[in-house]
Amino acid sequence: MGVFRVGGGFPQDQVLGGIGNNCWVDVLWWAPTEDITEPTSLAVTPHEGSTSVRLDEHATIRYDEEVDPAGLSITATAPDGTPVQGAVTCEADRVSARCAPTGRHVAGTTYEVTALVNGPAGNPAPTRTWSFTTGLPRPATCPCTLWDDFSRPADTDWSDVIYRPGSPASGHVFK
């Protein structure tokens, strides 16, 4: 039963049926004793829609809570639906999982990754699906780039590279 008064304030005796100015309320606090939340994916690698991904890259996913290694499934599939052979493992922190291919991916191919997982209490996480595309090696006949898709520079701070067409300093790195 609720007691209300239009316009705010405390209800008067006539509203409460003559029981005085006291309004007794019992507060009921319920805290679940079991885990009822599902794991939520926080991040994936390779990132959704990534291109130029290395041929030996493994798919990883990170959740906001521990997951049950027994309820873990990560599948990478090629465009024709063929599953990529590999090992699925749960990291030591039990919030990250990895699918490492036993071989190399095919160059220039888009793969779709699907992750299914349960929390420690058996709560299933929503299915997480993402895709990435592997890179292509630089053709031997094309000197059109300095690096192929798989090159990873040791220094990723490109703020020191200068490019001015026609300038004698174009392309020099100053440290």
Tell me the DSSP string of the chain: -----TTSSPPPHHHHTS--S-----------SS--PPP-EEEEESPTTEEEE-TT--EEEEESS---GGG-EEEEE-TTSPBPPEEEEE-TTSSEEEEEESSPPPTT-EEEEEEE-B-TTSPBPPPEEEEEEE--PPPTT--S-SS-TT---S---GGGB---TT-TTTT-B--
Residue 72 is predicted with a pLDDT of 93
Return per-residue pLDDT of the chain as tens, 175 residues. Answer: 455 566 666 555 555 555 555 566 667 777 777 888 899 999 999 999 999 899 999 999 999 999 999 989 999 999 999 999 999 999 999 999 999 999 999 999 999 999 999 998 889 999 999 999 999 877 777 666 666 676 666 655 555 555 555 555 544 444 4
